[in-house]
Chains A and B, each alone.
Chain A
Amino acid sequence: MNYEVVIGLETHVELDTKSKIFCSCGGHSAANEPNDCVCPACSGMPGMLPVMNKKVVELAVTAGLMLNCEISRYTTFDKKNYFYPDLPCAYQITQLNHPICTNGCVTVKTTQGSRDIRIKQIHMEEDAGKLVHSGKVSYVDFNRTSVPLIEIVTQPDFRSAEEVITYLTKLKSMFRSGGISECEEGAMRCDVNISVRPEGSEEFGVRTEIKNMSSFESIAKAIKYESQRHIDAIEFETEELVQETRRYDDLTGKTSAMRNKETEADYRYFPDANLMPIIIDDEWLEEIKANKPAEVDEKAEDYRLAGISEEEIEMLISNNKIAKLLDDIVAKGCNAKEGAAWILTDCAGILRKMGKTLNDLTITADDLFAITNMVEKGDVNRSAGRKILIAVIEDGADPIAFCKENGLDKKFDESAIAAVIDQAIASNPQAVEDFKSGKTKALQALFGFCMKQLKGAGDPAVIKTMLEEKLK
């Protein structure tokens, strides 16, 4: 019999805010030592009250807009009760009754075709701290406590590990381009709900949940292992499936039971009276919409149409700053494909030599466009353009002034080039003789002479052709 795997995902994403969700402590990424970023509020001391970080709401709404969600105009927080030493208040502030975003949808394209994944909801919550174990003693580190998270909950719409990984990859690049999260190591964590049923069946099978995985590779392996375990249980009656929470072990490549439905805690959720309901009015929503970067898919499609390679598109949509620079110079009139090459090849190359990366790029759209425009209009050739670019990036030169000062902007008519060629031939009799006797390499010496005289100006292809003509 053929089986169908049914998967739903709960994905936690750490938000890139300067401070924690309910206090002014910096995020744990700012911490060097355990408990560096901790205050009376996020360590659960009495007397402190949570105060909402507005930026968290804005990033959650942006995520919701990107995933085509309905944005709740009235959203509230609830407390989830459980005891654990990494949870200083013994409750987590999260959203149960009125989550910030609901009913979204995202399309994933895989080798099996394209599928719409429905988003049930996105809610905001605070992260827990960490336990550090050392022999018989355990220590608590509250740096991560109250770091803002959003949890994106899908409907059980995935049918393969490939779809899951494609979805997660898409979320990652969306969130990077949206300034929502850099999704660094461990900042994106997944709970996978999985069940298996005979193909064509409408009913769901017994569901298990695999908790807290962050590497895509592990997630894919865990799904494969767990779905096979379900199929074996149904097909060969190897075991009885029960609804339970499981963990995946990277070393063994297997999942094992953590707790079942009967022993599952009652979290006694209830509204948090310390946080007033948040009202998102039209004005605020419009402001968030205006600041939201273009949809990744839409944007990728635009880039694709402009002839930009897939590899370059990937680089652009995962780096909002670079994408914006390209969009800005394109808006000024630069060809998109050329612009992408200038940024991703030329700028990146120059920065690499300086030991830097594209993230360090500080060139303004105006300066970059000034260069691409001069090249596009034929005022300077491409290698001269690159020289100007180096001067701008390395020394902060003004592109137009630099071009003039270095004589790169001369319009080279053919007579000017012809004069330099005559000069080259007159000054290099040996090279001319070698060339004429069949040593084609000798042309290079003459060409080099011309280029040197022209200080990099003039179209190299034209110079070469004219030089060959002359020597014939």
Chain B
Amino acid sequence: MKYYAYKCDGNIAVDDTILVKDIPATAGSKILDGFKPLFSAEAVVRLENKGYKIAGKTNVGEFGLDLVGEFSHYGENDEELKGAAAELVKSGEVKAALGVDMNGSTRRAAAISGVDFLKPTYGTVSRYGVISCAASGEQLGVYADRAEGIKEIMDVIAGHDDKDGTSLRNDKYDYTLSGVKGKKVCLVKELFEKADATVQENINKAIDALKVNGAVVEEVSLDIFDTANVAWQILMTAETCNNVSRYDGVKFGYRASEYKNIDELYVNSRTEGFNFLTKAVILYGSDVLSKNRYKDCYDKSLKVRRVIADKFADIMKNYDAILTPACSKYSYKAYDIKEAFGKVFEESVFTAIANLIGTPALVTSGVQLLGKHFDESTLLGLGAVIERKGE
């Protein structure tokens, strides 16, 4: 497979959905061919200011919409699908990587490669310099091989940024790995059952590790994940459809060579520039925003978002974290892009809720921990124990 869209010399990989000044940024799409950003993402600037060096831009699936990064205009896939940034972290070639968590691709990639990925609480890391798709729930996050590595990077990149209107006011957050003894974790029965045997086995190992270290693990039945996923797919496709509208062949990026008027310039550039999955998302998103569907689709999803947030908060009155799979299996085979929309939708049942309600999620050792807003500390503490199960 092809890891880099652009290689330099450094220790931090940056997904191609995040801008680094003067280095081409395409978000894996032909539509942004040749686009060079005039500035770096805030997270990149903060890392560089602390002496970290950018190792290069890692290939991502077009706008991060696919399973793990398989549909990049610039990438190449093996039969077994893997995420570029996750694999580079796993190999030790880079210390950590930055990725944009929007529809689960970063978390799935981390689970498959067996590295950590933290999707932080919404608003804690600046989205300035993220090639935005679904602004209401996407979040810049970190890949590292261990929870300690995540903490190290989060300590640098998190905190208020004036350039992002959704950035929260706090300048500092606590990512200290919490203790595990006495923590209460619940396993979600419905999600556990959706996973295959290898994933289930990993979940059981994680439970053992937590129990050995003094945590309490209980199984619960929770029916909010399917609803959360549908709501998030509606919001995500609508917002993505809107945000990629700016790629129209007029200002930068790819422009079709053949057109007779402005309408043809738009249609031809976008027809040639976007892949099938992005087009499916655009169509789906336009539909849920159309006048006759808005109330039943988009508007209802906004209400569902509030209801789910309330229900989630209720559960978290009794538990410190929720344990779930991050994906249904660890082996995705190459497949036809026409099946992508359905496949991603199915797999996002594990990941969507954190995007929908802005809570943090940590993938570690192939499993996922969901936590309360701003409680990354607990997730990292639990994650560190799960990682060390065999040691």
Interface residues of A (CB under 8 A from B): 40, 43-52, 79, 81, 83, 85, 88-91, 138, 140, 266, 268-276
B302 touches A89 (CB 8 A): no
Q: Which residues of A contact B134 (CB under 8 A)?
A: 273
In the complex the two chains form, what is the Cα distance from A273 to B248 in whole Å?
Answer: 22
- Chain A nearest CB, measured from B123 CB (Å): 9
Ranked nearest first, the 9 interchain pairs of A and B with the lowest CB-CB distance are A273-B136, A90-B245, A268-B289, A273-B135, A46-B131, A47-B129, A44-B246, A47-B19, A89-B246
- Does chain A have a CB within 8 A of B7? no
Interchain CA distance A29-B250 in the complex, whole Å = 25
CA distance A52 to B165 in the complex (A): 7
Can you give 21 contacting A-B residue pairs, CB < 8 Å?
A: A40-B37, A40-B38, A43-B251, A46-B27, A46-B35, A46-B37, A46-B246, A47-B19, A47-B129, A47-B132, A49-B163, A51-B162, A83-B245, A85-B250, A88-B250, A90-B246, A266-B290, A266-B291, A268-B290, A268-B291, A268-B294
Please give, as numbers and ranges, the residues of chain B lying within 8 Å of A273 by CB-CB distance. 134-136, 166, 239
Among B163, B166, B245, max chain A CB count under 10 A is at B245
Q: Is the CB of A45 within 8 A of B245?
A: no
Q: Confirm or deny: B89 has a beta carbon within 8 angstroms of a beta carbon on chain A.
A: no
What is the distance, in angstroms, from A194's C-beta to the closest C-beta of chain B? Answer: 25
A45 touches B38 (CB 8 A): yes
Contact A88 B165 (CB under 8 A): no
In the complex, the answer to whether A47 meets B165 with C-beta atoms within 8 Å is no
Q: Which residue on A lies nearest to B239, using beta carbons?
A: A273
CB distance from B238 to the nearest CB of A (A): 6
Contact A83–B266 (Cβ < 8 Å): yes
* Chain B residues within an 8 Å CB radius of A91: 242, 245
Whether B252 is near chain A, meaning CB under 8 Å from some CB there, is yes
Cβ contacts under 8 Å, B130 to chain A: 47
- Chain B 272-290: CB-based contact to A (< 8 A → 1; otherwise 0): 0000000000000010011
Contact (A49, B245) CB under 8 Å given A40-B38, A274-B165: no
The prevalent SS among residues of A at the interface is loop
Q: How far is the CA of A50 from the CA of B246 in the complex (A)?
A: 15
**Beta-carbon contact of B37 and A276 below 8 Å:** no
Bound complex: CA A268 to CA B250 (Å): 22
Any A CB within 8 A of the CB of B337:
no
Residue B335 at the chain A interface, CB threshold 8 Å: no
B291, closest chain A residue (CB): A266
Q: In the complex, A169 Cα to B122 Cα: how many Å?
A: 47
Cβ of B255 within 8 Å of any chain A Cβ, yes or no, is: no
List the B residue with the shortest CB-CB distance to A41: B163
Which residues of the other chain, B, contact A269 by a CB distance below 8 angstroms? 289, 294
B370 at the A/B interface (Cβ < 8 Å)? no
B350: which A residues are within 8 A, CB to CB? none
Given contacts A266-B291, A271-B302, contact A46 B25 (CB under 8 A): yes
Give 17 A-B pairs besides A270-B239, A273-B239 with Cβ atoms closer than 8 angstroms: A40-B37, A40-B38, A46-B19, A47-B19, A47-B41, A49-B165, A51-B162, A81-B289, A85-B262, A88-B251, A89-B245, A266-B291, A268-B290, A268-B291, A270-B242, A273-B166, A274-B132
Report if A270-B163 is in contact (Cβ < 8 Å); known contacts: A47-B41, A83-B245.
no
A275 touches B165 (CB 8 A): yes
Residues of chain A contacted by B37 (CB below 8 angstroms): 40, 45-47
Q: How far is the CB of B300 from chain A (nearest CB, A)?
A: 13
Q: Give, as a whole number of angstroms, the nearest-CB distance from A322 to chain B.
A: 37
Contact mask B246-275 → A, CB, 8 Å, 1/0? Answer: 101011100000000010001000000000
Query: Could you say which of B39, B135, B166, B248 contacts A40, with CB atoms under 8 Å apart?
Result: B39
Contacts of A44 in B (CB 8 A): 246, 251
Q: Are B32 and A46 in contact (CB under 8 A)?
A: yes
- Give the shortest distance, in Å, between B159 (CB) and chain A (any CB): 16
Assess the B289–A88 pair: CB atoms within 8 A.
no
Complex: how many Å from CA A351 to CA B39? 49
**Chain A residues within 8 Å of B246, by CB:** 44, 46, 88-90
The reply to whether the CB of B30 lies closer than 8 angstroms to some CB of chain A is no
B143 at the interface (CB under 8 A from A): no
Chain B interfacial positions (CB closer than 8 Å to A): 19, 25, 27, 32, 35, 37-39, 41, 127-132, 134-136, 162-166, 238-239, 242, 245-246, 248, 250-252, 262, 266, 286, 289-291, 294, 298, 302
Contacts of A40 in B (CB 8 A): 37-39
A residues within 8 A CB of B129?
A: 47
Expressed in whole angstroms, the minimum distance between the Cβ of A146 and any Cβ of chain B is 13
Q: How far apart are the CA atoms of A49 and B242 in the complex, in Å?
A: 14
Chain A residues with CB below 8 A from B242, complex form: 79, 81, 90-91, 268, 270
Give complex CA distance A138, B265 in Å.
Answer: 13
A-side contacts of B238, CB under 8 Å:
270
Q: How far is the CB of A361 from chain B (nearest CB, A)?
A: 38
Residue of A with least CB distance to B249:
A85
A272–B129 alpha-carbon span in the complex (Å): 18
B302: chain A residues at CB < 8 Å are 271
Q: Using Cβ atoms and an 8 Å threshold, which residues of chain A touch B289?
A: 81, 268-270
Complex: A285 Cα to B381 Cα, angstroms? 45
B19 to chain A, nearest CB (A): 5
Contacts of B252 in A (CB 8 A): 45
Query: Which residue of chain B lies nearest to A142 when distances are taken between CB atoms in the complex?
Result: B251
Given contacts A49-B127, A268-B286, A273-B136, contact A90 B165 (CB under 8 A): no
- Complex formed: what's the CA distance from A89 to B242 in Å? 9
With a cutoff of 8 Å between Cβ atoms, the chain B residues found around residue A43 in the complex are 251
Which B residue's beta carbon lies closest to that of A82?
Answer: B245
- CA gap between A138 and B261 in the complex, in Å: 11
In whole Å, how far is A22's beta carbon from the nearest beta carbon of chain B?
A: 8
Q: What is the minimal beta-carbon distance from B117 to any residue of chain A, in angstroms?
A: 21
State the Cβ distance, A262 to closest chain B Cβ, in Å. 13
Of listed A44, A91, A269, residue having the most chain B CB within 10 A: A44
A7 nearest CB across to chain B (Å): 26
User: A272 contacts which chain B residues (CB < 8 A)?
Assistant: 135
* Contact residues in A for B248 (Cβ distance below 8 Å): 83, 85, 90
B293 to chain A, nearest CB (A): 10
Separation of A12 and B248 alpha carbons in the complex (Å): 27
Please indicate which of the listed interface residues A91, A270, A275 has the most CB atoms of chain B within 10 Å of its own CB. Answer: A270
On chain A, the residues within 8 Å of B266 by CB distance are 83
CA distance A276 to B37 in the complex (A): 26
Closest approach, in angstroms, between the C-beta of B307 and any C-beta of chain A? 17
A90, B286: Cα distance in complex, Å? 13
What is the CA–CA distance of A261 and B290 in the complex, to the nearest angstrom? 16
A88 to chain B: which residues have CB within 8 Å? 246, 250-251
User: Whole-angstrom distance between the alpha carbons of A367 and B128 in the complex?
Assistant: 51
Assembly CA distance A273 to B136 (angstroms)? 5
Distance in angstroms from B284 CB to nearest chain A CB is 13
Q: Smallest CB–CB gap between A387 and chain B, Å? A: 54
Closest to B138 in A: A273
A49-B38 contact, Cβ under 8 Å, with A89-B246, A90-B246, A268-B289: no
Whether A49 and B128, one on each chain, are in contact in the complex, defined by CB atoms closer than 8 angstroms, is yes
- When distances are taken between beta carbons in the complex, the residues of chain B under 8 Å from A89 are 245-246
For residue B186, give the distance in angstroms from its CB to the closest CB of chain A. 30
Q: How far is the CA of A13 from the CA of B115 in the complex (A)?
A: 54
In the complex, which residues of chain B have a beta carbon less than 8 angstroms from the beta carbon of A47?
19, 25, 37, 39, 41, 128-132
Residues of B within 8 A of A266 (CB): 290-291
- Interface pair B164/A49, CB less than 8 Å apart: yes
**Contact, CB under 8 Å: A51 / B163:** yes
Complex Cα spacing A47 to B32, Å:
13
Write the nearest CB–CB distance from B364 to chain A, whole angstroms. Answer: 29
**What is the minimal beta-carbon distance from A126 to any residue of chain B, in angstroms?**
14
Q: With both chains docked as a complex, state the minimum distance between the C-beta of A131 and any C-beta of chain B, in angstroms.
A: 10
